[in-house]
Structure 1
Amino acid sequence: MVKPTDLYVDPAYQRNIGEKGLRQIRRIIGGFDWTKYKPPICAYAESDGHTILKVLDGQHTAIAAASKPHVPLIPVMIVEAEDTVAQAKAFIGQSTERVGVTTLQLHQAALAAADEDAQTLELVCSRANIKVLKTTNSYTGGGNRQTIAVNQIKGMIERHGAKLAREILEVLANAERGPLTAPQIKAVELLLTAPEYADLITPDDLTIAIVDLLFTAEDEAKIFAASHKTTFWRALAVTWFRKCKKRRNSVAKAA
């Protein structure tokens, strides 16, 4: 147990804290919770004749704790790394030789914790007859009506609500295209929400266009993206829109 204000961060090998890091520190300070706390990993070092503790991993946690007036002491884990080189190697090991927590794992954990947003996402996908997979390599068959694009779906629900998000997903699900990827979802979202597209087409006609083009749409989109210097998902949207049947009244109004 140590005072967080007594810990040192060595700029010789530690990362500079950018805006993203500052936001993370602010989140930790604002919602400090011991159940989410991970002890910083430190090593003893000498500085100006004094023994100090340098932070090898967990500097954001340490800084947040030092900024929190009601956290006088924190637990840290101490490892042996006698000089800066050894400490830097330990820092690299802590940063690279770890098992990263994937988005899918976080989503499954949120479901287990009865998180409302995670439950809403599962419900939206279920009503669109789409299965959210637990791992990136668990697709079955052709991957039809299966997806791992939880971040894209979550953002879509936040932007448009559950009902419209389900309708967007149904366009791809009914086309029996699989697996459902983030670029595909973003493309359909654009076509069904942007007025310049949504006023001219119907979800059912968009599904038909996707089926008609099959896998050639991706090839055409790649060429369009390269020639027009745009993103692949936007090029895919344009490719599908060109194929899609247009509403006569809307076309005339637009003209």
Structure 2
Amino acid sequence: MHFYTTTGMPIFETIDPAKLFVDPAYQRDIGERGLRQIRRVVEGFDWAKFKPPICAYADHDGATVLKVLDGQHTAIAAASNPYITEIPVMIVEADDTASQAKAFIGQNTQNLAVTNLQLHQAAIAAADEDALTLELTCAAANVKLLRTPNSYTGDGSRQTIAVKQIESLIARRGRIVARRILEVIADAERGPITATQIKAAEMLLTDREYADQIDPADLTSAIVDLLYTAEEEAKFYVISHKVTLWKALGVVWFRKCKKRRGAALRVA
């Protein structure tokens, strides 16, 4: 059996780690946790534990640089160590930012240390159609998808990190319905939009058991009226009825809604 690839075999070179380039277009912010990791690597550097960063040559501001596709913490730790002047790196073919971002996704899809938000930003840089659709859907609903966790501003209203839940919502319901569901939650302006809230709103606005009885605007009003007590009530409902939290939250919201006939959100 023969396997064909579109790129050549990687090469290995020794490079001054201070000369490596980390592209913010798809690489993650270091953060305090990352800084602690880098300090541990610097203080306890051991070649037996060293994993060569994966890099690619690229143009940046008219100059040729060696971009780090995977292993930025290792590269930064090596550059921060005064006793390390060269490190081995693996160099692959990835000519442009989109190709490099795709390589980053490929290297990190199974890496639990890389968050869904980071992979989404890499997919945006790679011009992935689904990622761009997700961004457009959030923008149409006046919802801001944050780049990193814990980066909410103000009370977090109209902001979210629930990238995987929104991605799944679009896949199930389409972009238009997904936008309407996000709008219902966002218009309540009662803090960050969570995956639990999205699934609860989807159930109420698309399941005929509920959707025929409520209007989307009334659901927004119910969320506003309940404020933060809804989640607390939902937790008790989970215990008493043995259901998931998102279903329980949906039931709590539904009980507060005005009931109407024929008010279902039509799924396109």
TM tier relative to shorter chain:
0.5 to 0.7
The residue aligned with 2:163 is: 150
The residue aligned with 1:6 is: none
The alpha carbon displacement at 1:32 in A equals: 6.1
For 2:169 and 2:4, locate their aligned partners in 1 and report how far apart those are by CA, in whole Å: 26
TM-score (norm 1): 0.60
Q: Deviations over 1:105-157 (max 9, x none)?
A: 00000001111101100000001000000000211110000000000000000
The residue aligned with 1:235 is: 248
The residue aligned with 2:147 is: 134
Q: Return 5+ residue gaps in structure 2 as ranges.
A: 13-50, 52-89, 91-110, 264-268
For 2:8 and 2:226, locate their aligned partners in 1 and report how far apart those are by CA, in whole Å: 51
For 1:126 and 1:145, locate their aligned partners in 2 and report how far apart those are by CA, in whole Å: 10
Q: 2:205 aligns with which of 176, 192, 209?
A: 192
Asked if 1:222 is matched to 2:235, the reply is yes
C-alpha spacing 1:200/1:136, structure 2 compared with 1 (3 Å): same
> Residue type matched to 2:113 in 1?
G
The residue aligned with 2:26 is: none
The alpha carbon displacement at 1:167 in A equals: 0.2
3-state SS of 1:136 partner: coil
RMSD: 2.9
Q: Deviations over 1:172-221 (max 9, x none)?
A: 11000221000000000110111101111110000000000000100100
The residue aligned with 2:123 is: 110
For 2:9 and 2:247, locate their aligned partners in 1 and report how far apart those are by CA, in whole Å: 39
- Considering Cα pairs closer than 8 Å and 6+ residues apart, tell me whether 1 or 2 has the greater RCO: 2
Q: Return 5+ residue gaps in structure 1 as ranges.
A: 1-28, 40-56, 58-76, 78-97, 251-255
3-state SS of 2:167 partner: helix
The residue aligned with 2:224 is: 211
More helix per residue: 1
For 2:168 and 2:232, locate their aligned partners in 1 and report how far apart those are by CA, in whole Å: 27
For 2:216 and 2:9, locate their aligned partners in 1 and report how far apart those are by CA, in whole Å: 43
What does residue range 162-177 of structure 1 map to in structure 2 within 5 Å?
162-177=175-190
What does residue range 71-90 of structure 1 map to in structure 2 within 5 Å?
none
Asked if 1:123 is matched to 2:136, the reply is yes
For 2:182 and 2:9, locate their aligned partners in 1 and report how far apart those are by CA, in whole Å: 34
> Residue type matched to 1:153 in 2?
I
3-state SS of 2:113 partner: coil
Q: Is the 8 A contact 2:230 2:253 kept in 1?
A: yes
C-alpha spacing 1:36/1:104, structure 2 compared with 1 (3 Å): farther
Report the identity percentage.
63
> Residue type matched to 2:199 in 1?
K
The residue aligned with 1:246 is: 259
The residue aligned with 1:70 is: none
Q: 1:202 aligns with which of 197, 215, 221?
A: 215
C-alpha spacing 1:99/1:200, structure 2 compared with 1 (3 Å): closer
TM-score (norm 2): 0.57
For 1:171 and 1:177, locate their aligned partners in 2 and report how far apart those are by CA, in whole Å: 11
Q: Is the 8 A contact 2:157 2:186 kept in 1?
A: yes
Q: Is the 8 A contact 2:214 2:261 kept in 1?
A: no
> Residue type matched to 2:194 in 1?
T
For 1:35 and 1:157, locate their aligned partners in 2 and report how far apart those are by CA, in whole Å: 36
C-alpha spacing 1:193/1:248, structure 2 compared with 1 (3 Å): closer
